[in-house]
Homo-oligomer: A and B are copies of this chain.
Amino acid sequence: MDVNKEFFSNITSRERAIFEGAISMGALFHQFVGTPVNNQTKKSLEDAMRNSLNLQPAIEDVEVNIDFTRLEDAMSEFDYTSLTGDMLDVKIHTKVDDVKAVIRIKFIEELNYPLMYVEDIKD
- Point out residues on A near B: beta carbons under 8 Å: 1, 3, 7-8, 10-11, 14-15, 18-38, 40-41, 44-45, 47-49, 51-57, 75-80, 82, 84-85, 108, 110-113, 115-118, 120-121
* CB pair B112 A10 closer than 8 Å: no
| Closest-CB distance, A70 to chain B (whole angstroms) | 13
| Closest-CB distance, A102 to chain B (whole angstroms) | 11
Which residues of B are found within 8 Å of A21, using beta-carbon distances?
22
Bound Cα distance from A78 to B7, whole angstroms: 15
- Count of identical protomers in the assembly: 4
Bound Cα distance from A79 to B54, whole angstroms: 12
Which residues of B are found within 8 Å of A116, using beta-carbon distances?
23
Pick the residue among B3, B25, B108 that contacts A23 (CB under 8 A).
B25
* CB pair A118 B80 closer than 8 Å: no
Apart from A19-B118, A21-B22, what are 17 other A-B pairs with CB-CB below 8 Å?
Answer: A11-B18, A11-B121, A18-B19, A23-B23, A23-B26, A25-B26, A26-B30, A27-B30, A31-B35, A34-B34, A35-B52, A37-B55, A41-B55, A45-B51, A55-B80, A56-B80, A77-B110
